[in-house]
Structure 1
Amino acid sequence: MIYLENEIIRLALGDWSWNASVAGFINIIGEENVTYDGASAQIPVNCLEDFEDRYFRYFIDTYEKALPWYRIVSFKNTIGFYNENGFEGLDLKKLKSINDYIKDTVKRYLTSNSFKSAFELMGEAERMAELEKNLSKVREPKDDTDFEKVKEEVIGELKKQFEIINKIIEYCGNENGRRFIGAKNVIYTIIRNGWNGISFLNPQTKIKDIYEDYRTYFVDEAREYLAADKQKFRYKCFTCGAPIRDMNNDMSFLNQSGFDTARKPSHVWDFVNDIALCPVCKLIYSCLPAGFVYVNNTGLYINANVNMRYNVRVNRSARDSVLKEGRNETASRRIYKVLVEAMERERIEKSRYELADVQVVRYENERFKFNLLPESTIKLIHKYHDEISGLIRTGYKEGKESYSIYEQVLENIFNNQNLFLLVYKLLHFKTASNKDCFFHMGHVEDILSINAGLIKSLGGMENMDENRNYINEAKNSGYHLRKAFMKNNEKTGKIPGISYRLLNALKTGNRNMFMDVLLNSYLYTGNKVPAVISEIFRSDELFSTIGYSFVTGFIAERSDDSGNEANNEKTVNGEEN
């Protein structure tokens, strides 16, 4: 996967971790230094000059606004705002916010080990320690009335603290501060997600300067190897097959991929290790975190492993989309949204590159998770794009935990699992505890539509009539039965009990129980059993689809009880969605 010709490094696509590392390497050096050739890329050796600076600069530039360093220096705008308008608009709430910044941001980070080590590299350790010691919260009055009485005193004290904060920002915000503090931040928030235990991530490293440490361990070794005479090298690189001098560079530093060959000799054949890397491959693998996009501790990489240019650009587009999303979005939700967008692009690009199945790699809870998405899944996501997008802000609470419906639907789609269990749970919660449900029945209907498409893509529902909308028919039938109950008694308590029994029958796949409850209900109201009910005997999938659709209409929304038809516009709390 690596070839060296006339001072040119040629990198070819391989497995997912290598492809992500190559994409990260190209992100770091810049595409202007790369010549693409199908599934490979050519890069001049001179790109390794000052590579350690480019390495950290990429991470700092990419994740700047998510770094603790930025949380400190960005407060300069707030200080400027108050100084310009003479602290007009300052109240007790804003004072508490400033105090929170002083305590939870400035003092917290300035006393952390990573910041202290960065200050030592900057030669500002003693000065920053003194500034942190002098910085303190401003006394907060008990209430707004007391605040107004002592407002001038508060402003005077704030000015003193702002002077200290300005000095802190001055040291942290200069080029040297960004270089070292930013680097320390990305090491522990981004880089460590990909690899650990060596170079500056080795607790016992003797080199304090992280830039020098990375250059010595990765860059210098790679350049020396490229210039060396390899004719007498006995071993071969496990990744690229190039000759290597010894087996010292193993893959144990890669998270969830490598292993310690000294402690785990049983992992290799006959207890003799034959897994080692050449220094160039080791350097490329150190760029693995740059191939992913991370939000907090969640990462994403799309292994578009047919064309090198597309592999780089589809992930760069995903990166830009994730980082562009607002901070009010949860990390996992942002990742899933971008993944759906990437699948849309994948569908378009497929005609150009004739891509086969798409491999998606997610980093969650310090583990890599893999999904192989076939063409049918990509088409399904495209077909139901609007329905899936409509679920983005939906969810429910179970106990003290909150769950995203959007994420669960996509997770099931990626794993080719039907959504009946999720639908059961949503309908059960809607009946039992409506206050913990942040969705309406129109969302459940959309999930049932997505689920029907998913089952069809997997070869199910073969006996269904393509010209009929079973979901809509069953939903309306359920709604009209509800109306019949409400007509007899507007405050009837029968609906929840009947709903529970129907849901129980659906969950257990018991058609007889379902029909028994249903027929008794229609006998009670004197209504005719709709024709769509007889379709439940065609297949198990149709039974569940029609049954859950019926219960969806039967439970309905509270706003529907005033006379709105079940197939009217979907509303949440009376507002159009």
Structure 2
Amino acid sequence: MIDFKMGDWRTNVSILGLMNILDHSNLKYDFSKDKQSLLIENEIFENFEKYYFSYFIDTYEKFIPWYRIANYKDNVEEYLNNLSEFDEAKLKDLNNQIDIVKDYMRRKNYIKVYELIDENIDIEEQVKNLNKINLKKGEELKDKLEEVELELNKLKEIIKYVSTDRARDYMGAKGVIYSYINRGIDGVSFLFRQTKERDIFIDYKNYFIKPLEEYLDEDKEKYKFECFSCGSKIKNLSINMNLVKNTGFDSARKTSNIWNHESDFAICPKCQFLYSCLSAGFFYFMNEGIFVNYNFDLEGLQIINNNLKENAIAEINRPENAISYRTLISTIEKQYERHARFELNDIQIVRYIDDRYKFNILSKEALKIIIDSRADINYLVKAGYRDGSTNFSIYDLVIDKVFNNQNLYSLIHFLIVHLISEGAGFQRFYNIHHISRILNINSRIIREEEFMTVEKDRGKLTDLSKNAGYHLRKNYMDNMKDEKRVNNRMKSITYKMLNALKTNNSGSFMDTLINTYAYVGKPIPIYLVEALKSDDGLRIVGYAFVAGVNSYDDRKNDGGEDNDK
């Protein structure tokens, strides 16, 4: 039996990937008593290369080129059985599919495996002979039906070839290698450009499995080196960490990064095998991947990431990104409900974006804010804006700041400015009610209960300030009796207050506050004055008050909905 112990994020995501591969093929494994180590039998390695590629192919089948070719079978059958109904829309569809087939199946990566699929079929020649059907001026489609039938039958034979089990194995493996596996590892085995082994299954076995099996049988007592990752004894430094993509440097070419120019940045065959599973631990959608490094135990690690995948799949048809923060937060809430101690642990979130890793630490404080702010956060799901040609999700912007332990004042300021102004190239899909929810979240971030001296008002400063601003607006309306004039006056007041807030100028803010209340003949609430004695108090009161004076129903063309109240 061999064990893999939890460690840094690379180790943990690789262990999760290994578990995913084993689960997919219904293979057994176990945990240590503390659930910190994965235990598997050595017999599993006998056909592991098949289990390995099967996981990736089955998981991402609908997103690889092989599927786009094989899945056209029903279209071909329908067109052949109803040739009399074949129209120009179907011709366009057929020609597009012919382009897809000729594009993918003439690529070098696929050509290399054709002889492994069926050496008796010259599939390259079949693809070469496949031709699009173009209507010349004056020609009618009905005169081309024989040609259509001919090309459909050619395509049918190609699809028949592609649909075999061996074609799916090899073409499917090529698809996942260059779309998913290479996001985690690169430059070795079947991902080494100069590899001499055409059979990717054999290449994987020779590079990752055989060295591991030999290593397990070796007497390591006299080995003087240690694995950089797990600390196991190793004979030499021949295997380095460079196979893990974008997490290190080339120690052979850049020796200046190494102490005394001599590298000990080496790993054992056991870790080399484990890291080959790294990509199986991420959940990928489009160009993005995500992994939650919950390191309390392997059971929790598996549950939280499996829930993440399930939530993401459920979100695929929504306008938000399938692995957006919304998906992540939903997953975290489920884990929180499962495990009370979950709240006490900081969590590392690893996102794979634009061929790079992005790391966030979700601290226990940030987690508490998210759990306590569930209603406010969920309210922001559809809120956003377009600046130029770029769309922004306010939900994601808020969560990103929470993850990074930042307050929300700069975002609130930005949103209010664009709420009351008409900027060229800016479209808003939010309203003051969304900003009010962000203020609620921010009050928890900054712990506003510390800014009130009156016990009964502790934790209520944001709400009190919003209400004060709202009622001031009503008083202006009672005095002016003209909504347009009131709106213009509120904009003027808002601009003055925002300028004061931007520079932390409590004197300027107070002057504006005095003038506004003097106009309606009302006293300034004492809690507003008390809070202005500190910079934090100024911002709490200021932004909440500004939100209040702009609290009218502005739901037209802003993405708001009637149920967002």
In 1: Cα distance, 2:53 partner to 2:371 partner: 37
How big is each residue's C-alpha offset from its partner over 1:336-394, in whole Å with a ceiling of 9 and x where there is no partner?
22321232133234436785222222222222222222222222211212221222222
- Answer whether contact 1:344 1:378 (CA < 8 A) is retained: no
**Corresponding position: 1:425 with 2:389:** no
5 Å matches for 1:217-232? 217-232=207-222
Shift of 1:185: 1.5
Contact 2:363–2:403 (CA<8 Å) still a contact in 1?
no
Letter in 2 for 1:69: W
- Percent identity, please: 34
State how far apart, in whole Å, the 1-side matches of 2:469 and 2:377 are. Answer: 24
- Cα deviation for residue 469 of structure 1 reads 3.7
Offset of residue 417 of structure 1: 0.3
Deviation at 1:196?
1.0
The alignment's TM-score, normalised by the length of structure 1, stands at 0.85
**Of 122, 131, 148, which aligns to 2:127?**
131
Distance 1:86 1:167 in 2: 18
Matched residue of 1:437: which SS?
A: strand
Question: In structure 2, what is the Cα distance between the partners aligned to 1:519 and 1:99?
Answer: 72
What amino acid sits opposite 2:126 in the alignment?
A: E
- Name the CA distance, whole Å, in 1 between partners of 2:214 and 2:330: 43
Tell me which of 346, 361, 367 is aligned to 1:372: 361
- Give SS of 1:300's match: strand
2:19 to 2, 13, 26: 26
Residue by residue over 1:526-576, the C-alpha shift from the partner in whole angstroms, topping out at 9 and shown as x without a partner, is: 565455543541543332233222322333455579xxxxxxxx9956643
Cα distance change on mapping 1:407 and 1:95 into 2, 3 Å? farther
Amino acid at match of 2:17: G
Aligned to 1:251: 241
Corresponding residue SS for 1:263:
coil
- Cα 1:404/1:574, change in 2 over 3 Å: closer
Aligned partners of 1:183 and 1:251: how far apart in 2?
24
Structure 1 position 436, deviation (Å): 0.5
What is the aligned partner in structure 1 of residue 275 from structure 2?
Answer: 285
**Distance change (3 Å), C-alpha of 1:386 and 1:114:** farther
Once the two structures are superposed, the pairs formed by residues 406-485 of structure 1 within 5 Å of their partners are 406-433=395-422, 436-456=427-447, 461=451, 466=457, 469-483=460-474
**Deviation string, structure 1 residues 235-254 (Cα, Å, up to 9, x no partner):** 33222333322211011121
CA contact (8 A) 2:227 2:267 kept: yes
Question: How far apart, CA to CA, are the structure 2 residues paired with 1:81 and 1:440?
Answer: 50
Q: Relative to structure 1, is the Cα distance of residues 303 and 462 closer, same or farther in structure 2, using a 3 angstrom cutoff?
A: farther
Aligned to 1:381: 370
Name the aligned partner's letter for residue 136 of structure 1. K
Quote the Cα distance in structure 2 between the aligned partners of 1:140 and 1:65. Answer: 35
CA distance in 2, matches of 1:159, 1:392: 50
Offset, 1:211: 1.3
Secondary structure at 1:276 match in 2 = coil
CA contact (8 A) 2:343 2:368 kept: no
Change over 3 Å in CA distance of 1:70–1:551 after alignment to 2: farther
Matched, 1:396 2:385: yes
Aligned letter for 2:285? V
Deviations 1:107-128 (A, max 9, x none): 4433444333344543478524
Does the 8 A contact of 1:460 with 1:541 survive in 2?
A: no
Q: Corresponding residue for 2:8?
A: 15
Change (3 A) 1:42 1:544: same
Are 1:537 and 2:524 counterparts?
no
SS state at 2:196 partner: coil
Residue 545 of structure 2 is matched in structure 1 by 550
Give 2:509's aligned residue.
514
- For 2:161 and 2:317, the matched residues in 1 are separated by 27
In structure 2, do the counterparts of structure 1 residues 468 and 219 end up closer, same or farther at CA, with 3 Å as the change threshold?
closer
Query: 1:263-322 CA distances to partner (integer Å, 9 max, x unpaired)?
Result: 122333222222221111110111111111112232222222232222233223323332
CA gap 1:405/1:235 in 2 versus in 1, 3 angstroms: same
Distance between the aligned counterparts of 1:390 and 1:325, measured in 2? 17
Unaligned 5+ segments in structure 2 are none
- Whether the 8 Å contact between 2:123 and 2:158 is mirrored in structure 1 is no
Give the aligned partner of residue 493 of structure 2: 498
Structure 2 match to 1:576: 563
Query: Are 1:345 and 2:334 an aligned pair?
Result: yes
Question: Which of 173, 184, 196 is residue 186 of structure 2 equivalent to?
Answer: 196
Decide whether aligned partners of structure 1 residues 42 and 353 sit closer, same or farther in structure 2, where only a CA change above 3 A counts: farther
1:241 to 222, 228, 231: 231
Shift of 1:443: 1.3
**Compared with structure 1, are the counterparts of its residues 470 and 398 closer, same or farther at alpha carbon in structure 2 (3 Å cutoff)?**
same
- Give the structure 1 partner of residue 47 of structure 2: 50
Contact 1:343 1:381 in 2 (8 A): no
Question: Cα offset for 1:506?
Answer: 2.0
Provide, for residues 38-95 of structure 1, a one-character-per-residue CA deviation record: whole Å limited to 9, x for no partner.
2112211111111111111111111222223223333344555666787879775x76
Structure-to-structure mapping, 1:291-306, within 5 angstroms: 291-306=281-296
Moved more, 170-179 or 529-538: 529-538
User: 1:136-184: CA deviations, max 9, x gaps?
Assistant: 266599xxxx9xx967568777655544443333322321222112111
CA distance in 2: counterparts of 1:410 and 1:222, whole angstroms: 42
Partners of 1:100 and 1:536 in 2: CA distance: 66
Residue 3 of structure 1: aligned partner: none
- Counterpart of 1:210 in structure 2 is 200
Instruction: Quote the Cα distance in structure 2 between the aligned partners of 1:395 and 1:117.
Output: 47
After superposition, the CA RMSD in angstroms is 3.4
The Cα of 1:478 is off from its aligned counterpart by 3.2
Q: 1:539 to 1:70 in 2, by over 3 A?
A: farther
Q: Are the counterparts in 2 of residues 535 and 543 from structure 1 also a CA contact under 8 Å?
A: no
C-alpha distance in structure 1 between counterparts of 2:338 and 2:45, whole Å: 32
SS of alignment partner, residue 516 of structure 1? helix
Rate the CA distance shift 1:130–1:522 in 2: closer, same or farther, 3 A: farther
How far apart, CA to CA, are the structure 2 residues paired with 1:477 and 1:353?
A: 39
Distance across 2 between alignment mates of 1:541 and 1:84? 74
